Amino acid sequence: MNRPDAPELLAAARETLMNDVFPAVPEHLRYEVLMIASAMGIAAREAAAQSQTEVDLFSEVLPESIAVGSTSSDDARRTIAKAIRAGVFDTPGAQQEKLQVALAETVYNALMISNPKAAQSLRGPRS
Amino acid sequence: MATVQRIDMESRNPGDPNEFRDALTHHIANQSGGSVEIHRLEKLSGGAIQENWLLRLSIDESHLAGEHKWVLRTNSQSAVDVSMSRADEYAVLKTVHKAGVNVPEPLWLCTDLSVIGREFFVMQAVGGTAAGHRIVKDDSLVPDGSALCRELGRNLAKLHSINPPNEMLGFLPKPDRDPSLARIEQYRKFLDELPSAFPVIEWGLRWLLANKPDAIMSCLIHRDFRTGNFMVDQGTVSGILDWEFAAWGDWREDIGWLTAKCWRFGNNASVAGGIGDVSDLMAGYSAICPREISSEELRYWQVMAHVRWAIIAVQQAERHLSGQQHSLELALTGRLVPELEHNILSLIGGH
């Protein structure tokens, strides 16, 4: 067992970077250090994430072509995108509703990793 | 690409100005017919594709005699061929300057590669800052957001008064018969070139197709007209920058881009670029050109804006992933995509 795990290591590294290194960083490199800290934060959250996978979500929309366990995430995305472009979900109704739920859920999961602050507003008022 | 967020117009990468200082001094002496001394040559930040160099110089014994503050704009050394050439951008700048759009005055173009090794043009430097995150938050920079929005509106209207054909702009792709349909088709093509699929962006494009407005006549549009791409000095526009994406298109595309949530720098209540209201923007606009935009049209072009930015963000991340240009900034741009997808879903409704 590897301890500390990836999120814990990244958190510790990020803390040292921001608390000890950043104050001594010259002006012209500060943006770079902030980008590094941001990338470490995203990677730490992604390593810790345990959300429902895209395959799970998309298989509920098109169960006949996307199977949990045998379809890859890439293939699931491709299948859904192709069906959208073909107009499969154009008519309002249960099928369109299912798609919208799945899309919103995948975006929410991705935002929880890349931008948790924005994720919290997802279920709030419309933009 | 210009859509990488501009940080500030202050020096970030020192670079090596001595590489071409002498050749440039000689070139400007030829241009002006006088004697030239370059006091300062400094690379400005922003733009992965273009480089901007601030030039402070003095000229004697010439019609250009005096102290000058100019900007030299050229392709970055790592540039790939994704936007118009500097010669074309110079022609756009000349054209819009003549139409009364507030831009840094273009001075001359140099296509002689023996000077600095790349094509470049020189323009007047303008004062102020383009830093979006400061412009939307600092009242001392923008004491009157309504007035600034009206000024932006007037500038857009002057730009949009330039119609095809235009002999100076013959290099631009011909205007599309149906500009919004052409965009949708182009974005689908971009998606098809990517190694993975993007269902939310596809859903946005499907909505754009279903809600497509009637085709209207194209005019010249900027295509990156947003906070961060114009300089603001003492609350007013001192110069609109980055014309490399200019094209014939639907004028409302520029309005949608400027007002899209992704370009408000967090100041979301101020829909027009995080600065003020759309009503002020359009009041300035219609003072020059009698046009209006409905809330439905605005929503349509804001969805278009987010779809486009999402695709550009994916493409930028892809530049990093493919090894074409290794860059943490480009890699992180890919992580903006979920937020843009969130904006697309919010705007088109549903869940």
Q: How close, in Å, is residue B176 to chain A by CA atoms?
A: 22
The answer to whether the Cβ–Cβ distance between A39 and B347 falls below 8 Å is no
Please give the DSSP secondary-structure letter assigned to residue B326: -
**Per-residue pLDDT, B326:** 85
Q: Do B345 and A103 touch (CB under 8 A)?
A: yes
Q: Rounded to a whole number, what is the distance in Å from the CA of A4 to chain B's nearest CA?
A: 25
Q: What pLDDT score was predicted for residue B2?
A: 39
Report the residue from B196, B205, B339 with minimal CB separation from A115: B339
For B213-222, the pLDDT digits (tens) are 999 999 999 9
Q: Any CB–CB contact under 8 A between B199 and chain A?
A: yes
Whether the pLDDT of residue A29 is over 90: the answer is yes
Cβ contacts of B210 on chain A, cutoff 8 Å = 90
Note whether B14 contacts A28, CB cutoff 8 Å. yes
Indicate the average pLDDT of chain A: 89
Q: Please give the share of chain B, as a percent, with pLDDT higher than 70.
A: 91
Q: What's the pLDDT at A121? A: 72
pLDDT classification of B186: cutoffs 50, 70, 90 = very high
Say if residue A3's pLDDT is above 60: yes
Binning pLDDT at 50, 70 and 90, where does residue B324 land?
A: confident
**At residue B223, does pLDDT exceed 80?**
yes
Chain B residue at shortest CA distance from A74: B196
Question: Hey, which of A42-51, B42-51, B239-248, B321-330 has the most confident mean pLDDT?
Answer: B239-248
Q: What is the mean pLDDT of residues A4-26?
A: 92
* Confidence at residue A5, expressed as pLDDT on a 0 to 100 scale: 83
DSSP string, B103-131: -PPEEEEE--TTTTSS-EEEEE---SB--
Please report the pLDDT score of residue B14 as a whole number.
40
Give pLDDT, residue B310. Answer: 97
Say what the pLDDT of residue B9 is: 32
ipTM: 0.86
Return the number of other C-beta atoms located less than 10 Å from residue B334's C-beta.
18
Average pLDDT, chain B: 91
Q: Residue B350 — pLDDT band, cuts 50, 70, 90?
A: low
B2-47: pLDDT as tens digits: 343 333 333 334 445 667 888 999 999 998 899 999 999 998 876 6
Percent of chain B with pLDDT over 90: 80
Q: Where are the alpha helices (DSSP H) in chain B?
A: 21-32, 86-98, 132-135, 145-159, 179-192, 199-210, 251-259, 278-288, 295-321, 328-334, 337-348
b/e B174-187 (16+ beta carbons within 10 angstroms → b) = ebbebbbebbbeeb
Instruction: Report yes or no: B162 and B152 within 8 Å, Cβ to Cβ.
Output: no
A53 CA: distance to closest CA in chain B (Å): 15
Nearest Cα neighbor of B148 from B267, B6, B242, B1 is B267
Please tell me the predicted confidence (pLDDT) of residue B5. Answer: 37
Question: For a pLDDT cut of 90, what percent of chain A falls above it?
Answer: 68
Q: Are the beta carbons of A28 and B11 separated by less than 8 Å? A: yes
Over range B300-324, report the average pLDDT: 94
The encoded tokens of residue B231 equal 């300089």
What is the average pLDDT across A48-70?
A: 88
Interchain CB contact of B202 with A (< 8 Å): yes
Region B198-206 average pLDDT: 98
Position B160 pLDDT exceeds 50: yes
* Chain A nearest C-alpha distance from B195 (Å): 9
Mean pLDDT of A67-77: 90
> Rounded to an integer, what distance in angstroms lies between the CA atom of residue B232 and that of residue B67?
23
Q: Please determine, for residue A7, whether its predicted confidence score (pLDDT) is greater than 70.
A: yes
C-beta atoms of A114 and B349 within 8 A: no
At residue B292, the pLDDT reads 96
Between these two residues, B157 and A72, which has the higher pLDDT value?
B157
Q: Please give the pLDDT value at position A18.
A: 95
**From A119-123, B277-281, B320-324, the region with the lowest mean pLDDT:** A119-123
